Structure 1
């Protein structure tokens, strides 16, 4: 009887997990206004998941459009694409197979696997206890579903407040390579302190605050229920769930590149900072405004290094310096595996998007605010294989250290 009960519970649990057999990811290449209209009309008629850009409203000519199409709509999509005479190709033949390639979560924490939230939380405690005097932690608040949001502080202990860099990962739940990098950064920081001169100097003079998983509820949900989930898990007024936390900051909020529709993946929320996760981070940064000199937020995918602004095409007052710094960091990144990044302000480089965290931090006074869009350029998209975790993290470390060294030199 106990065995039957166990297998029954397993079956129920598996039934709650969204599967993606037979689904495909297409790359569409709109070059005419008619192509743009076609894509937007198709999005109204059938349910497709926009990977890049993040919503049909952002579709424009000469910008590749990556969409995930459920198996039930494939015949319709193929027929319509042929009628449109628009160029396209299939990036991922079977989404579930690509998910399976990432492998199951490891039984113990691993820097070259995608870890569950529970394993990351245990890992945080382990790193803190093993590196007393260099690493500490702080819960900056709880999520909508009550999970702790834990920031790791790395830096040589000091009797007075030190200038700092703040870095977060995992704002969007399905971008798993992002939290993987934050964990890698912490590993490299503690392992190379005392032997690597640049890291030692940085942590002697500055503190680095790392939030390994920003959207803790969403990230947990991608591991347990729906690998493709993007938003938070807060309840909206209707039946749809979640807000895009990177459209919920008070920076040109909901004016462009964001949706007021609660069912949209780019839903901006009912008001700025409606999401408790966003409010927790914003409060933390506001409270340390006098010491935080740089803000880095890690996303995927597209291989971009962006800076303000995204909510307007106007150039930031520090545009020239930020561009030079981004280009230098991108060159440092490219030096390892020849991975090429594009640098520039968000709106002009990728697409306009209001309510982003880097724009908000910059307007608050954090001059060196950057968004990384990690590997790749769409071959795997959000389903980057685990074999690419280490090279992605290794090269990104070079860019982050380049920015950190520049900030350190320009503190005063």
Structure 2
């Protein structure tokens, strides 16, 4: 009992610490009209510590867009003065980031152990992967595809009815550590597969036909770090000799136009592409698994947040995939299906022109491996909460996303190749 109480105290203390340093910090949204505004914001970013939420870095700011960024308390006056002096239109999305992060835990599902309607820490998710597989042996098996930089197992759940030579759909979550709604979706997907198999015809058909490979959290070290130390951490936790900065952006680390655009060669940057493609153990584990199972994988879905978008290749260049017309039509129908539940509006299109150019992404890489149906989901919301999406939105977000994923899977089923 004492050990348990100590654990609870330590957990609360670390959660408290990780929230503590967000006291009085703000998230701004700035309207970018022209190239002059772009230059001004890049100048601001070069002289102040700015944590970009959307886009991911100052280099990706474009005219006729909005930019969301998080500013430390001590820099707020400087930033506000700069924006006002240069007549940049702005609004404050989050007035006190600490309060917003504390308010995330609003589900009421504060039971100990795992819950699908709250954000679960890694230990809880890891125990859940074991339990859900052992409780549903006819539908789920668990394996390890590799280990993280810090030595944690990267689990993959294979979800589907046993059968030989089945086509597969690959889904991963938790690339970027602070995007907590992403792992919540992977858990939800597995729950619904098990719950509705045999009773709901669409899911039953999908699980009879496909194996779904689900990676609930890819960047586990980063995810753990968001729970213990810094809620806003994005990258992996790898360390390189010669640099004091930690981590690589796993979604800039794939061998797809690697580090050519929308990625940084600076180890301190949030979009650091790493010293080489697949330098990260996490990235390499995922790429190795896909290469090994390439003949069976017919669709690749990677789940991120936020901005309510459905993206397809390419992001590493302003070029269109060979089956652009088909992917565009499918994306349009998928976002309509998603909106049919709660009216949530998604935009869609090729990554580079729809959101911003970014090289080294897993979706472009998967597509270039020959997986025709490759999509990135950017889940809720559009910035009101950003990465601090409350738990009370988990259910609705996951329900509508599940609709979209099932729609894509059913389409792929009719267009097997």
Compared with structure 1, are the counterparts of its residues 349 and 12 closer, same or farther at alpha carbon in structure 2 (3 Å cutoff)? closer
Asked if 1:40 is matched to 2:42, the reply is yes
In structure 2, the partner of 1:185 is 189
CA positional deviation for 1:323: 0.6
Asked if 1:220 is matched to 2:221, the reply is no
In structure 1, the partner of 2:82 is 80
1:273, 1:129 → 2: CA distance? 32
User: What aligned pairs does 1:119-198 form with structure 2 within 5 A after superposition?
Assistant: 119-158=124-163, 160-198=164-202
| Aligned Cα root-mean-square deviation (Å) | 1.8
Unaligned runs of 5+ in 2: none
Compared with structure 1, are the counterparts of its residues 106 and 285 closer, same or farther at alpha carbon in structure 2 (3 Å cutoff)? farther
In structure 2, the partner of 1:385 is 390
In structure 2, the partner of 1:243 is 248
Unaligned runs of 5+ in 1: none
CA positional deviation for 1:103: 1.9
Check whether the contact 1:173–1:231 (CA below 8 A) recurs between aligned residues: yes
Compared with structure 1, are the counterparts of its residues 14 and 306 closer, same or farther at alpha carbon in structure 2 (3 Å cutoff)? closer
Check whether the contact 1:106–1:113 (CA below 8 A) recurs between aligned residues: no
**Count of paired positions:** 408
1:228, 1:17 → 2: CA distance? 9
In structure 2, the partner of 1:349 is 354
SS at match of 1:265: coil
In structure 2, the partner of 1:62 is 64
Paired residue for 2:233, among 220, 229, 232?
Answer: 229
Paired residue for 1:113, among 118, 126, 136?
Answer: 118
Check whether the contact 1:112–1:386 (CA below 8 A) recurs between aligned residues: yes
Check whether the contact 1:106–1:114 (CA below 8 A) recurs between aligned residues: no
In structure 1, the partner of 2:322 is 317
User: What aligned pairs does 1:249-288 form with structure 2 within 5 A after superposition?
Assistant: 249-288=254-293
Summarize deviations over 1:252-305 as a string: whole Å, max 9, x none: 000000000000000000000000000000000000000000000000000000
Summarize deviations over 1:331-368 as a string: whole Å, max 9, x none: 00000000000010000100000000000000000000
SS at match of 1:17: helix
In structure 2, the partner of 1:71 is 73
1:339, 1:368 → 2: CA distance? 23
Summarize deviations over 1:230-263 as a string: whole Å, max 9, x none: 0000003310000000000000000000000000
Check whether the contact 2:18–2:227 (CA below 8 A) recurs between aligned residues: no
In structure 2, the partner of 1:17 is 18
TM-score (normalised: structure 1): 0.96
CA positional deviation for 1:17: 3.2
Check whether the contact 1:140–1:150 (CA below 8 A) recurs between aligned residues: yes
CA positional deviation for 1:204: 0.6
2:14, 2:319 → 1: CA distance? 49
1:39, 1:307 → 2: CA distance? 28
1:298, 1:17 → 2: CA distance? 25
1:326, 1:182 → 2: CA distance? 20
TM-score (normalised: structure 2): 0.95
User: What aligned pairs does 1:293-312 form with structure 2 within 5 A after superposition?
Assistant: 293-312=298-317
Summarize deviations over 1:46-92 as a string: whole Å, max 9, x none: 10100000000111111110000100011111111110101110000
2:205, 2:276 → 1: CA distance? 41
In structure 2, the partner of 1:359 is 364
Check whether the contact 2:30–2:67 (CA below 8 A) recurs between aligned residues: yes
2:266, 2:186 → 1: CA distance? 31
Compared with structure 1, are the counterparts of its residues 218 and 103 closer, same or farther at alpha carbon in structure 2 (3 Å cutoff)? same
Summarize deviations over 1:184-232 as a string: whole Å, max 9, x none: 0000001000011111111111100000001000001101111000000
Paired residue for 1:98, among 97, 100, 104?
Answer: 100
CA positional deviation for 1:14: 6.8
Check whether the contact 2:15–2:227 (CA below 8 A) recurs between aligned residues: no
User: What aligned pairs does 1:319-334 form with structure 2 within 5 A after superposition?
Assistant: 319-334=324-339
SS at match of 2:217: coil
2:54, 2:104 → 1: CA distance? 21
